[in-house]
Chain A
Amino acid sequence: MKKFIAIISLFSLLLASCEKNNEVTPLKTLGKATVTFDAVFGTQDFSINKDFMSGSKTYNFTKFRYWVTNLILVDTKGEEYNVPNSYFLIEETAAVPVQDGAFTYPATKRETIQLNDIPIGDYQAIKFSIGIESKYNDNLSLQIGELSQLNGMTNVSWMWMTSYIFSSIGGKVTDGNATKNILVETGLNTNYKSVLLNLPTPLLVGSNKNAAIILTTDVSKAIDGIDLIANPVVGASKANLMAQVATNYTSKVFAVKSNQ
């Protein structure tokens, strides 16, 4: 029996390794879509190294990064399509020193996810989660999608506790004479939360058309309710504040701007 299984595995391995050589024609029932996470700060377009006013505070950010995972498209019949391997790092960041500066992750702006092989149909809602579910968060050796130890969304102090940083906002805040360097992060398993957004009109995914959803991601809402002068570092030792930030991500950070 073992031999049998071994041979089957061998067979599938060979098939898999041959794929490159075969011209696979795409099935007509599949289409493409992009999902864009357009970062904003309130009504303004978000950018790093730029001042944003909010009440008496002025913020200037160096990074805004978060994991979008387990993307689901819900069609007008209510049926769900789970996008496979959907673990995407969405970010606008200056260069990130990784492992206390042992190497550097380059400055990056990435707001769009390309989805291929979506079953054609009319979709009325999009669901996704912010962060990494416990299976992967607790075990760094299980890698899927874009999960990696090399992009600065894990670090030693986090590894001593759990593994991935789900979301990270860094920069500084000034209020009157006070200036603080800020770092607002989530990453506990309980911070893993999903977002459901209904689309104003159905998204039509066809075989000849690249459908697009554009969302806004409001950084000001992510830190809403947190006094970053009093608590400039929201991390593992401030579990309550982390929970509040995680709830902000699930309840008010994301909105649908348009879809076509």
Chain B
Amino acid sequence: MKHQIANRWSAFILLSAILITTSSCKKEEVVIADEILHPVKLEVPANFPKFVDDPDNPLTKEGIELGRLLFYDTRLSGNNTLSCGSCHRQAIAFSDGIALNNNGVSGKTLPRHSPTLINLAWTTNGLFWDGGSTNLESQAFAPITNADEMHQNLMELEFELKQVPDYVKRFKQVFNVDVKSAAIVKALAQFQRSLVSADSRYDQYIRKENNISLSTEELMGLNIVNEKCKRCHSGELFTDNNYHNNGLDSNFSNADHEGLYQGRYRVTFNPSDLGKFKTPTLRNVLLTAPYMHDGRFKTIDEVLTHYGNGIKPSATTDHLLYQNQGKLGISLSATEKSAIVAFLKTLTDEKFITNKKFKNPF
């Protein structure tokens, strides 16, 4: 009944709308049906936390698709050779495989390691290794404009994209604006939020899908990770989205480059945040070497060795790392280390790295 009333109302309003259109502004074209946006409800796996969409930039099919085009478009860089995808490669879970890369427009070596782009829809506690950016939208401006990264002039970027009729049409359709930098970063954020990795062997095992079982060694690894690593690499996202000093260094007095080496302190100016960096997810971790905010560890074995006996003490070294009878370090036998690596392999998501929806469309 309600439905009927609504239908009658809509018919009435549509009629009035048409009347007004035809009477007062004949030049206007009636909006055609295929220009209406299709809201996207992110497919959230059963073992994942709830996803809360951004009311200021809700996901739409058309927005995500525009974001994908922009993500892989080299027009986003000043010399039109680099796209976001240059340093965030799908085949290796949107990481770059290089400790500190010098692929940017200036050719200078960047001081930090390119982070992965995995399950960013749930990354709600800051982006960058120190959480300096509050949301994906604002974050995008930094790599696009930074002289050592894509070094694009935002005015030029808007101008270049306006030369492409398909972009002009899509920006109008998705955001009802001309090509504008604020809309560019919104579209990029939508695409990045669509990058969900939740189909590893581990996930299928947890969700009891496809009769997937884990081997004895993998299960042993799972138990060790649960016991010794999960307080930071927590939950099904395998990160607490928080910041910890995991004892890579012990001296944070170097304030160069606006506090770049001081971790989250450069954002909060709270001395207890010295040397703290964001917990990266363990998902796809065997694809995303090298490791840490500066890529200093080439292999997962080096990482495990660090946690075993390489952790350096300082006032802010995380107390969770005092696992060795009150002393620093997480003691792991060779068998335990192999089991952890075997388990981490089950977090590799082949569908994620081959998903056609995430591929370079050009």
Which positions in A face B, CB cutoff 8 Å? 1, 3-4, 6-8, 10-11, 13-15, 17-18, 21-22, 99-100, 102-103, 138-143, 149-150, 154, 156-157, 159-163, 236-237, 239
Contact = CB atoms under 8 A, between A and B. Distances in A.
A138 B135 contact: yes
A237 B268 CA distance: 10
A237 B137 contact: no
A162 B135 CA distance: 10
30 contacts: A4-B6, A7-B10, A7-B13, A8-B10, A10-B14, A10-B31, A17-B28, A18-B24, A18-B28, A102-B145, A102-B153, A138-B138, A139-B56, A139-B134, A139-B135, A140-B138, A140-B141, A140-B185, A141-B185, A149-B141, A150-B154, A150-B155, A156-B147, A160-B133, A160-B142, A161-B132, A161-B266, A162-B132, A163-B138, A239-B269
Nearest to B260: A160
Nearest to B3: A1
Given A18-B21, A159-B133, 11 more contacts: A14-B25, A15-B20, A102-B78, A103-B153, A141-B56, A142-B137, A156-B146, A159-B138, A161-B267, A237-B259, A237-B266
Contact of A103 (B57, B133, B155, B183): B155
B5 to A, nearest CB: 10
B186 interface: yes
B80 interface: no
Given A7-B10, A103-B155, A149-B141, A142 B56 contact: yes
Residue from the set B56, B128, B134, B259 with the largest chain A CB neighbour count within 10 Å: B134
A149 B154 contact: yes
- Nearest 6 pairs between A and B by C-beta? A141-B137, A102-B153, A138-B134, A140-B138, A11-B17, A18-B25
B57 A141 contact: yes
A102 B146 CA distance: 11
Residue from the set B20, B132, B186, B259 with the largest chain A CB neighbour count within 10 Å: B132
B156 A103 contact: yes
A160 to B, nearest CB: 5
Nearest to B130: A160
Residue from the set A15, A21, A141, A154 with the largest chain B CB neighbour count within 10 Å: A141
Contacts of B16: 11
B125 interface: no
Contacts of A18: 20-21, 24-25, 28
Contacts of A17: 25, 28
B13 A141 contact: no
B31 A1 contact: no
B262 to A, nearest CB: 10
Given A10-B31, A160-B142, A239-B269, A140 B153 contact: no
A98 to B, nearest CB: 8
Contacts of B251: none
Interface in B151-190: 151, 153-156, 180-183, 185-186, 189
A187 to B, nearest CB: 13
B26 to A, nearest CB: 10
Interface in B2-33: 3, 6-7, 9-10, 13-14, 16-17, 20-21, 24-25, 28, 31
A14 B21 contact: yes
A206 to B, nearest CB: 32
B34 interface: no
B1 interface: no
A163 B182 CA distance: 13
B137 A14 contact: no
A99 B153 contact: yes
B31 A4 contact: no
Nearest to B56: A142
Nearest to A138: B134
Residue from the set A21, A160, A162 with the largest chain B CB neighbour count within 10 Å: A160
B24 A21 contact: yes
Contacts of A154: 141
A90 B153 CA distance: 24
B145 A237 contact: no
Given A17-B25, A140-B141, A159-B133, A99 B154 contact: yes
Nearest to A15: B20
A104 B284 CA distance: 43
Contacts of B154: 99, 149-150
A54 to B, nearest CB: 29
Nearest to A157: B258
A195 B155 CA distance: 34
Interface string B70-98: 00000000100000000000000000000
Interface string B197-227: 0000000000000000000000000000000
A118 to B, nearest CB: 28
Interface string B115-133: 0000000000000100011
Nearest to A161: B132
Contacts of A22: 24
A10 B17 contact: yes
A156 B134 CA distance: 15
A4 B189 CA distance: 29
B46 interface: no
Contact of A160 (B78, B128, B156, B186): B128
